[in-house]
Amino acid sequence: MTSLGVALIGTGFMGKCHALAWNAVAATFPDVAAPRLVAVADVDIARAETIAASVGFARAEADWRAVIDDPAVDVVSITAPNQFHKEMALAALAAGKHVWCEKPMATALADAEAMEAAAQASGRVTLLGYNYIQNPAIALIRGILADGTIGALTHLRIEMDEDFMADPAAPFGWKSAASSGYGALDDFAVHPLSLLATLVGLPARVLGTVAKPYPTRPLAEGGERAVETADIASAFLEWEGGLSGLLAVNRTAWGRKGRIALQIFGAEGAILYDQERMNEVQLYEAKGPRDRRGFRTVLMGPEHPPYGAFVPAPGHQLGFNDLKVIEAHALLRRIAGETTLGVDFTAGLAIERTVHAIAASAEAGAWVTVGG
């Protein structure tokens, strides 16, 4: 496989995740060539230079356009704040680059639609940063659902909770500004929705509600500013065919660090999964003597690919950054012409339409048809 030139835009938490993944992907998966780390861009040029030196990019730039225009760049990683995704993705696609963009896709539905149209017109490969779907545990759950182990699905619930915005005294930041999007809906809910899209498909109808537990936050320079995004959101979900569900997300949940709790109920059993215990799946099968039934824990191991590409022993566990390496591998294989698991701009647009339908429902106080 040809070695591709990579550029990275943004050097925050997710920028570092992308950089580590690009460095590790070929060492972990020998069926791809190690990418060439061409350039990294950030408005903070000192930070860009530090990342370039520590991770191995050939140079640093303060202007993201300079790395997109570089003919040595084949793939652009976009990890800048949400409101910049559209402009950067459109520019990269127009320049003939493949795009790996962090979630959410965009802060406005029209922007996401423009990005998807540009991707279709360009013929380039796109991938959004939904690395949780790359977990071997999620692949196992897909298999359990596909083989009918728990029977026809009857109901599901999925929750995502973290506490990084739980402190009411925490200062106003960009995630509380309207320019970042709706708040928990597009910052958080997109991850549970990506799991639902992967496992059972997206709902047809939604009934949503949102909440601002802290209407104002203090400013670093003194005073306070009104919070413009909702840190809590929930929705009832309905699928064609009768499946029902519940989605709940909260960025102010003290004690929760990276929780995505999924419960799937079927006519013949149930599946439980929690992202804070991301190497475990709980499976209940409604068969055998009733006095011996119960949930059993399945620990991830080499039998659950691609776990074995990282560690040969079961129960030793993969982590967040490992899922990002799997995602980078999926992108490279797609560029090589293969079909791999991932959310491209077309699938991402479907997630965005679901998010916007929930927001519209919350505003209207009524059920909304997704995409209607």
Query: Which residues are CB-contacts of 166 (< 8 A; sequence separation ≥ 6)?
Result: 251, 252, 253, 254
CATH C-level class of 132-368: alpha beta
Quick check: 336 pLDDT over 80?
yes
pLDDT in tens, 97-116: 999 999 999 989 999 999 99
pLDDT in tens, 70-106: 999 999 999 999 899 999 999 999 999 999 999 999 9
| Strand ordering across the sheet containing 75-78 | 59-61, 36-41, 5-9, 75-78, 98-101, 126-128
| Residue at token pair 């320049």 | 95
CATH C-level class of 5-124: alpha beta
pLDDT for position 2: 86
Same fold, 5-124 and 132-368: no
Domain boundaries, the chain: 5-124, 132-368
Token readout for 3 is 């070695």
pLDDT for position 358: 98
**Element housing 122 (H / E):** helix 109-122
pLDDT band at 239 (very low <50, low <70, confident <90, very high): very high
* DSSP track, 47-91: HHHHHIIIII-SEEES-HHHHHS-TT--EEEE-S-GGGHHHHHHH
pLDDT for position 372: 78
Quick check: 1 pLDDT over 80?
no
The string over 309-336, giving b where at least 16 C-beta atoms fall within 10 Å of a residue's C-beta and e elsewhere, is: bbeeebeebbeeebbbbbbbbbbbbbbe
- Give the span between the Cα atoms of 166 and 256, in whole angstroms: 10
Residue at 102: amino acid letter: E
pTM of the predicted protein model = 0.95
Quick check: 260 pLDDT over 90?
yes
| Residue at token pair 């005073």 | 223
| Residue at token pair 């940063």 | 129
> Residues 267-284: what's their mean pLDDT?
97
pLDDT for position 66: 96
